[in-house]
Structure 1
Amino acid sequence: MTIPFYRDGFALPVTPALLALLSQEAERTDLDLGRCTQLTFNFRNPGYSAEQGGVHPVELRLIRGLHGWVFDYITDFSYQGLGQDAELGKELDFNLSCDEHYLQGWGPLPSVEARELFALWQSNFIAYGQLGYFTVIVSGD
Structure 2
Amino acid sequence: MTMPFHLAGMALPISPELPDLLRKVVREQQLDLTHVSTLTFNFRSPGYSAETGGVHPVELRLIRGLHGWVFDYITDFSYQGVGQDVELCKELDFNLSCDEHYLQGWGPLPGVEARELFALWQRNFISYAQLGYFTVTVSGE
TM class by shorter chain equals over 0.9
Cα displacement string for residues 91-122 of structure 1 (whole angstroms, at most 9, x for unaligned residues)? 00000000000000000000110000000000
Other structure's SS at 2:139 match? strand
**RMSD (CA atoms):** 0.9
Q: Which amino acid aligns with 2:115?
A: R
Matches within 5 A, 1:105-120: 105-120=105-120
Partners of 1:34 and 1:136 lie apart in 2 by 21
The one-letter amino acid paired with 2:114 is A
Report the counterpart of residue 138 of structure 1 in structure 2. Answer: 138
Deviation beyond 3 Å, 4+ runs, structure 1: none
Q: Within 1, Cα distance between the matches of 2:127 and 2:118?
A: 14
| Contact 1:9 1:70 (8 Å CA) reproduced | no
Shift of 1:85: 1.3
Shift of 1:9: 4.5
Q: What displacement does 1:11 show? A: 2.0
Question: Number of matched residues?
Answer: 141
The letter of the residue matching 1:39 is L
Q: Identify the residue that residue 84 of structure 1 maps to in structure 2.
A: 84
Identity %: 76
- Secondary structure class of the residue paired with 1:128: helix
The answer (yes or no) to whether the contact 1:2–1:27 under 8 Å persists in 2 is no
Paired position in structure 2 for 1:20? 20
Q: Find the residue that maps to 1:129 and give its secondary structure.
A: helix
Gaps of 5+ in 2: none
Q: Paired residue for 2:41?
A: 41
Which TM-score applies when normalising by structure 2?
0.97
Match of 1:8 in 2: 8
**How far apart are the structure 2 equivalents of 1:138 and 1:104?**
26
Following superposition, the deviation at residue 29 of structure 1 comes to 2.0
In structure 2, the residue matched to 1:66 is 66
Partner secondary structure for residue 89 of structure 1:
strand
- Alpha-carbon distance, 1:33 to partner: 1.1
Q: Distance in 2 between matches of 1:114 and 1:53?
A: 24
Aligned partner letter, 1:65 = G
In the TM superposition, what is the alpha-carbon distance from 1:3 to its structure 2 partner? 1.7
TM-score (norm 1): 0.97
